[in-house]
Amino acid sequence: MPSDISFHKLSDLSAEARAALLLRTEGNLDPYLEKVGPIIAAVEAEGDAALARFAREFDNSPVAPDAIAASERDFDEAFDTLDDEMIEVLTFACDNVRRFHEAQMPEEMWMKEMHPGVFAGDRIVPIDSVACYVPRGKGAFPSVVMMTAIPAVVAGVPEAVIITPPGPDGKVDAATLVTARLAGIERVYKCGGAQGVAAVAYGTETVPRCLKVVGPGSPWVVAAKRLLAGRIDPGVPAGPSEAIILADSTANGRVCALDLLIEAEHGSDSSAYLVTDSAAVAEAARDAIPDFWQEMGEQRVGFSSDVLCGPRGGIVLAETMDDAIAFVNDYAPEHLEIQAKDPHQYLGMIRNAGEILMGEHTPVSIGNFVLGPNAVLPTNAAARTCSPLSVFDFTKRISIGHVTKKGYDHLAPYALKFARYEGFDAHGNALSEMRSQAFAAGRSI
């Protein structure tokens, strides 16, 4: 088992070395952008034929051009294939996610009387069409179906679909189909990677064009979203997984190690750090990781060791918790666990994180699967300006206003002055005596 866990003493690092710890795989997409361009062009030109060809080439999957859509029979077989206990688990988790997002939904409309006779507010409406991207290359992820499809349905999106890579058997993962139906979505398409994003950006003979695509993906998916941003809304930036375990001296180092491996096992392109001011906690975690690798499969050990023994993971020892928290805020992790006897004392100091999971009984696994809040979170430091996926990502606000004659008489002089100052003649004319004259002339006709 690998044992050379990367270790960084924060106070010893140069500014350049510290900045290097903040880098993620998706930080440099140039190698992917060059390769993704031709894939996008092929899907735009050839439609389903290109999707079938790329399924064979990239997913080793025998998907025919006329079988891109999952059939009703595929859904029924998925329910027959999946064991009852797993269906019960998925039902339980979907219920938690649904209840959270139903509580998150804003009022359909609100208005406030700003002045007598002056009313302003918002109307909330769903986006017309959204594609939920569900990755598969390094496993099956029905959890992503829950986190993307359920808020779409709760928000009332009229056309919500799922795109996901097919397996070697040419089918969609059974749990993905079961979860899709539990979420309320029956339209699932066998296309992943850059070609899947291109399919919903342009539309094909089978796959509908959508206005937005949401969900996490590989750098190939992230690159495709970037290139197609002028064609389709790419949604919350969600690339390879990343997490920080923030621990003080009261934390259990072995528990920290256990949780550090959670996001690290997603893939070699993930990022994962234990950040602590305690040398004892750091040492205990470092010693425990090889023990826990003994209880993991070879592939997951390979992924997590690549991360924790490489340049985008390991242990960061800070001199103080203030220094540790400053590093966390600079990093702006997708997932943040606070491991401490009193995690609430640090909560107000965290400004940048996709989610904050507090205490030794709230591992990222709980958040990923059953807690309720969305686990599709901003990556690559986008948490500095972006929020978790939510019902708000599937809706849009339309500003509304209504002004009575009394309200108009109060506002118009202010607006007229503004219009004259900015040099807009028509703006001003619409607020001048010409308006009264137009009303009078209209009534005399």
What token pair was written down for 132? 């939920």
Active site residue 433: no
How is residue 390 annotated by DSSP? -
Phi, psi for 376 (deg, rounded to 5) = -90, 110
Instruction: Determine whether 334 is an active site residue.
Output: yes
Our CA dihedral for 28, 32, 38, 41, rounded to 10 degrees, sits at: -60
Residue with tokens 């108009």: 408
Question: Coil, strand, or helix at residue 85?
Answer: helix
SS3 399: strand
Kindly name the residue from 242, 263, 265, 334 that is annotated as catalytic.
Answer: 334
Placement of tokens 């001048």 in the chain: 432
- Using alpha carbons, list the distances in angstroms from residue 182 to 91, 292, 408, 435: 7, 34, 51, 56
Task: Quickly list DSSP for 236-291.
Answer: S---S-EEEEEE-TTS-HHHHHHHHHHHHTT-TT-EEEEEES-HHHHHHHHHHHHH
Structure token digits, residue 48: 């389903």
Q: Which of 8, 101, 266, 335 is the catalytic position?
A: 335
Tell me which residues are annotated as active site: 334-335
